[in-house]
Amino acid sequence: MTKFEELLKNIHHRHVYIQTHNFPDPDAIASGYALSKLLESRGITSTLCYSGRIDRHSTAKMIELAHIEIHNINDLPSVTDDDEVILVDSQKGNSNIINMTGEEIICIDHHPTGVRTAPPDTEYRFYDIRPDVGACASIIASYFYENNIPMDDNTATVLCFGIRMDTKGLSRGVSNFDMEMFYRIYKHSNHAVINSLENSTLEFSDLKVYAAAINSIQVYGRASFANAGYNCPEALIASVSDFMLQLKEVDFSVVYSFRSDGVKLSIRSEDALYDAGAIVGRALRDIGGGGGHASMAGGFIPYDKLPGLGKDDVEDISSIIRERFLMELS
């Protein structure tokens, strides 16, 4: 029995909700969209949804060009506790996904499980979590081939873009499995659309964020720390963190942005000795949470875990972030 056949056995309704992580990126949306096509081939309808907002131009452009129907959870009609929810590119209990109404029955993800209150097999009817894979889109793509389900050009195009974006152009955290899936679907994709999307990753307003981060950067040994300003989009924080690794003096990058409810962090590592996912988990222990892969990870610190501090205490909180990460890197 294939993974997709196992998945189907655990869906009891003729309609499901497919939920991405908050502020979804191309990999999350491509995975959710392609999964909806797989389910459609078996007579199951679905609604693709997310919380937060679509905060990058390239993501919005992908949705537009591929005619992807996706809804903010707040705009959905009444969802009941009996409705079934499939999580893609995230996991129950993570800081980057809300607990929407309904029962989370299935999880498909490529992020490490991290510290959990219960093992995955007690939380879902079915799960396919592969931390050694660079993009969730690669996992979804494999379902088409393993089950001989035809893939249309539109689906191939968004899956290709999702894989490329989450692996930084097949150069970071990419596995042989990702490479195989990418090249199998690339020949069916619209290359002109992919090129157009990859050339639309920055907006003019993004340059101000880069400028703020550059002006605030501090380097300690081989690690850099930078403040991307207030309420910076999650995807842009990650892009700035990637950018910092281009400095020849930097192998480990921490970029953060202050929000109304806490501080969002993006961590990148090019040093095999420093596992970004493990380090952020330890650094934010007891003041927040985080996790991810060895080369890329994220985290969040809620202000209520920092008594007496808030969004205006930029220097004090920045100092806490630096001290905790440097302690783990020493």
Task: Categorize the per-residue pLDDT at 114 as very low, low, confident or very high, splitting at 50, 70 and 90.
Answer: low
pLDDT (0 to 100) of residue 76: 94
Q: How confident is the model over 95-120, as a mean pLDDT?
A: 84
Are 97 and 52 in contact, with CB atoms under 8 Å apart?
A: no
Q: Which pTM does this prediction carry?
A: 0.85
- The reply to whether 46 and 141 lie within a common domain is yes
- The reply to whether 177 and 217 lie within a common domain is no
Q: Rounded to whole angstroms, how far apart are CA atoms 287 and 303?
A: 9
Task: Categorize the per-residue pLDDT at 75 as very low, low, confident or very high, splitting at 50, 70 and 90.
Answer: very high
- The reply to whether 276 and 241 lie within a common domain is yes
- The reply to whether 8 and 47 lie within a common domain is yes
How many CB atoms lie under 10 A from the CB of residue 253? Answer: 28
Half-sphere exposure at residue 92, Cβ-oriented, CA atoms within 13 angstroms: 22
pLDDT (0 to 100) of residue 118: 59
Taking the CA atoms of 201, 247, 326 and 275 in sequence, report the sign of the dihedral they define: positive
Q: Of 194, 253, 245, nearest to 227 (Cα)?
A: 253
Task: Categorize the per-residue pLDDT at 122 as very low, low, confident or very high, splitting at 50, 70 and 90.
Answer: confident
How many CB atoms lie under 10 A from the CB of residue 35? Answer: 25
Residue that terminates a domain, selected from 167, 198, 229: 198
Q: Rounded to whole angstroms, how far apart are CA atoms 185 and 323?
A: 45
Condensed to tens digits (0 to 9), the pLDDT of residues 15-62 reads 999 999 999 999 999 999 999 999 999 999 999 999 999 988 889 999
- The reply to whether 126 and 249 lie within a common domain is no
- DSSP annotation string for 93-112: T-TTS---SSEEEEEEE-S-
Q: Rounded to whole angstroms, how far apart are CA atoms 191 and 111?
A: 28
Domain residue limits at 224: 206-329
Burial class (CB in 10 A: 0-12, 13-18, 19+), 125: middle
Residue that terminates a domain, selected from 150, 173, 198: 198
- The reply to whether 228 and 172 lie within a common domain is no
Residue that terminates a domain, selected from 148, 181, 198: 198
- The reply to whether 119 and 215 lie within a common domain is no
The 8-class DSSP code of residue 74 comes to: G
Mean of per-residue pLDDT scores for the chain: 94
Q: Rounded to whole angstroms, how far apart are CA atoms 292 and 290?
A: 7
Q: Rounded to whole angstroms, how far apart are CA atoms 184 and 13?
A: 32
- The reply to whether 73 and 193 lie within a common domain is yes
The total number of structural domains that make up the chain:
2
Write the CB contacts of 55 (distance below 8 Å, at least 6 apart in sequence). 23, 233, 234, 235, 236
pLDDT (0 to 100) of residue 242: 94
Determine which of 100-104, 200-204, 211-215, 267-271 has the lowest per-residue pLDDT on average.
200-204
pLDDT at 290 over 60: yes
Taking the CA atoms of 124, 19, 157 and 196 in sequence, report the sign of the dihedral they define: negative
Are 284 and 290 in contact, with CB atoms under 8 Å apart?
A: yes
pLDDT at 119 over 80: no
Looking at the DSSP bridge assignments, the partners of residue 220 are 223
Condensed to tens digits (0 to 9), the pLDDT of residues 134-176 reads 999 999 999 999 999 999 999 999 999 999 999 989 988 899 9
**Dihedral-angle region of residue 252 (phi above 0 means left; psi in -120 to 50 means alpha; beta otherwise):** beta
Burial class (CB in 10 A: 0-12, 13-18, 19+), 91: buried
- For the domain that residue 244 is a member of, what is the CATH number? 3.10.310.40
pLDDT (0 to 100) of residue 73: 97
Q: Rounded to whole angstroms, how far apart are CA atoms 69 and 290?
A: 30
- For the domain that residue 167 is a member of, what is the CATH number? 3.90.1640.10
- The reply to whether 172 and 51 lie within a common domain is yes
Q: Rounded to whole angstroms, how far apart are CA atoms 135 and 278?
A: 19
- Matching residue, tokens 């959990």: 116
Q: What is the largest CA-CA distance in the chain?
A: 58
- DSSP annotation string for 301-323: EEGGGSTT--TT-HHHHHHHHHH
